[in-house]
Structure formats: structure tokens, C-alpha cells
Amino acid sequence: MKIVVIGSGGREHSIIWKLSSDKRIKEIISFSDNYGINQLSKHLEIFNDDIDSLTSEILKINPDLVIVGPEDPLSKGITNNLLENNIRTFGPTKEAARIESSKIFSKNLMMDNNIPTSYAEFFTDFDKAKNYSLSKEFKNIVIKADGLAAGKGVFLPDSNEEMIDILNDLLNKNKLGNSGKSILIEDRIFGKEVSVFCFTDGFNYSKPIAICDYKRVFENDLGGNTGGMGCYTPPEFWSDELEISILNKIIEPTINAMRKNDSPFKGMLYTGLMITSDGPKVIEYNCRFGDPESELIMPMFEGEILDTFLDVANSNLKNNSVRWKNKKGLCVVMCSEGYPEKYKSGYEINGLDEIDKKIICFHSGTVISNNKVVSNGGRVLVLSNIDDSINECRNNIYSEIQKISFENSFYRKDIGLRAIENE
């Protein structure tokens, strides 16, 4: 079999890593210069990565399956293009990807189908948004841009002044372009955050895996929001009862509502939840694997994941066909100083060959330059480990991560700490 994987980060490295042990796969093809990805796949250079150019490159390859990693090509319709050309594809159509690419679409979906979420109103006009938000007060609201914003579209203001500035930036100054021209002002909810991942073929869905991630850049949840600095599974508060309630009240109604909406969702449904005192509520949906969550999902997946990719793409996902290892998992992201704002690239990375084999080192942003592995992004490496306890995973990763070095690197040292207190 010939498989194409679209995307170039740690998420895609982890997908290719998992596929690469499957003997049925003769060739994995990527379009990325990520060194980790290139070690396990054939790299095809492309000069344009707009979806039409990508589609024509893929048609030349004529693969048995395409797996789409990032939300951007999904929301632009890469799956639609490929399916129209009879290329089997894992990942939702652009209509189904609206579950992530339009927060107004997904909020309406939830409100129309009684899927638990917090109340929100939608605005395009600054004065109306200002009056509404002042009537609510900064501490009770969250401001969200409607469209994709690479993790920069959600705001929790710390004062009424900041709240008005955010509205002004989005609605008057166009800070996020079209993505922020329409906004939601949502009631703020409190509780424990968790991300729940289910494969679905639009009808059936898999057993979920629940993961807690760390979005803030610094320890103790200080600093700006990032794509994720590390995560662990399972959450310390997870239970069979909670899982059943999330599946019945949220996951199944979401999949049914998307089908009713003529946009059946096929792929990986990633639901961000807040477990409140009133039960679980949806914060947002994503239409893809998370990053770095994928760097735990792949090692935690029991057996060959190719079968699940094919079952989803062929609309043939069987109940109970996905099994997760009865283990704990944790990963830590190594970044370049300045991330998530301005950072430099091109730092030589040392020590990659010295870390213990039980640690999987996924590459988020690396490239070969002058025969050396160098950093090529804000998030550079993700170290993942699966073991019998979160404590062991933490010890394994934090003892080995010190063997890797590049100039101005940093990582959070508190990943999973809160989960080990009751182990």
C-alpha cells in the first residue's frame, strides 16, 4: 500500500511513526522537510501547498489512502477534492470541518441539538458587542473569533478595559482578518478541562481516549497560550461513568447532528470539554488529531492503526474495534525561546541519539542543514513515554530530556504533576 500523509509537525511524525511498523505499507509519502518525518517516509518537494496544487501532486502518486493532519487544508476542502477524484481520504470534508473552522457553526449545532455548552451571542458590530460585554462584565465572559486563528482566537479578559480593547482589535482593527470579523461572546465556565478523541465514520464511533493538555507556555499555567506544551492520559478524574455520560450526551448527539446537517463527520473528532459542577460541557470541537495529543494517541493505540484509518474512510467503523493500551502516557514539548511569539530557528540539536529507547522523540520542527539536525520552529521536539504510572512517565522523560540540547531551548517541568498526587 502507498499512503500519503499531509502535514509537517509532530502530529504527522507520530502518525507516520505508528504506520511505519505495518508490513502492509510499502511506501509512506510526505511533503515535509521535517527531519523526523523524512527518516520514515519519502519526501516529495512541492513549491505550492495550496489545496489544488496538493491535489494534483497526490493524483500523480495515486495512493491507496491519504491522511490529512492539519485543520487548514481540511477547512479549505482537500478531502472534497480528493474524494471527487476517487482518492480514499481520512479527514472530514470542508462542510464537516466547519465544526472547527466556524465557532458560530458549532455553537449553533450544539444549541440546536441540546448538546451541553455555555450560552453565547454572536456579534459583528463593535458597539453592540461592547454593550453586551459590559452588561456581563469581563470575568464572566470569553471572547472567541469565529474562524481559524492558529490557537490565537480565544480571549479571557482580565479587566473591562482589556475586554473592550480585544473587541476593538477584532471588530474595528481586523486584527485576525476575516477569522475575527464575527465573534462569539460566551459565558465563562469553570471546572476541569479535558480533551476527548473519538474516531468516527459518521455513524459509529470508537472508544475515546481522554487527554489533559497544558496550553500556557510557562509552569503554573503562566504566560501566553500555545499549541500545547505537553499532555498526559488518562486524567486523574476520569471514570467509566464520566466516559459514558460524555459519549451519550455529547459525542453521539454531535455525530448525529452533523449527519442531520448534511455534513457527516468522518475522521478524528476532538472535543474540548469542561467538566463543570453541572456535568461536562463542550468548549470547542476540532476536526483532527491534536498536537501534541497525537504524540500520545499513536503510542497508546493498540494494534495496527491502518485498519481504523481505512474503516473510517470506508464508512465501516465497527464498534469496539479500537482499543487503547491499559497504560499511562505523558509527553513534554521542547521549544525554542520566544515561542509562542517570536523565536529563532536554525539551532543545532545535540544528544538525539543518546536518549533511552523507551522514550519516543517526535520532531515538531527540525530540518537537516549542513548535515546537522537543526531547529525549525517554535515547538521543536516532543518526548513521549508510556508506562504504568504518570509518575514513572514523568521520571523517564525528565531524566532523558536533559541529554538533548540546543541553544535557548526550554520546556515546562510540571507536565502531569497534578495527576500524580493521588497515584
**Residues in the site for ligand GLY, rule: CB under 6 A?**
213, 227-228, 286, 290-291, 293
Return the number of the residue (9 or 202) whose C-beta is nearest ligand GLY: 9
Return the number of the residue (11 or 281) whose C-beta is nearest ligand GLY: 11
User: CA-CA distance, 196 to 34, in Å (whole number)?
Assistant: 28
Return the number of the residue (63 or 235) whose C-beta is nearest ligand GLY: 235
**Residue 171 has what DSSP assignment?**
I
Residues 6+ apart with CB under 8 A from 410: 334, 335, 337
Work out how close the CB of 306 gets to ligand GLY at its nearest, in angstroms, rounded to a whole number: 22
Residues 6+ apart with CB under 8 A from 374: 345, 346, 347, 348, 349, 366, 367, 368, 406
Return the number of the residue (63 or 267) whose C-beta is nearest ligand GLY: 267
Return the number of the residue (146 or 291) whose C-beta is nearest ligand GLY: 291
Look at residue 293 and give its three-state secondary structure: coil
Return the number of the residue (58 or 283) whose C-beta is nearest ligand GLY: 283
Residues 6+ apart with CB under 8 A from 146: 102, 103, 104, 122, 179, 180, 181, 182, 183, 184
| Grid cell at residue 259 | 449527519
Q: Give me the residue label for grid cell 499511562.
A: 328
CA nearest to 175, candidates 134, 143, 200, 203: 143
Work out how close the CB of 228 gets to ligand GLY at its nearest, in angstroms, rounded to a whole number: 3
Work out how close the CB of 290 gets to ligand GLY at its nearest, in angstroms, rounded to a whole number: 3
Work out how close the CB of 155 gets to ligand GLY at its nearest, in angstroms, rounded to a whole number: 16
List the beta strands (DSSP E) in 109-254: 120-123, 141-145, 154-155, 183-187, 192-200, 209-213, 216-218, 222-225, 230-233
Work out how close the CB of 291 gets to ligand GLY at its nearest, in angstroms, rounded to a whole number: 5
Work out how close the CB of 288 gets to ligand GLY at its nearest, in angstroms, rounded to a whole number: 8
Phi, psi of 220 (to 5 degrees): 60, 25
Work out how close the CB of 378 gets to ligand GLY at its nearest, in angstroms, rounded to a whole number: 13
Return the number of the residue (130 or 215) whose C-beta is nearest ligand GLY: 215
User: CA-CA distance, 272 to 280, in Å (whole number)?
Assistant: 10
CA nearest to 265, candidates 199, 319, 217: 199
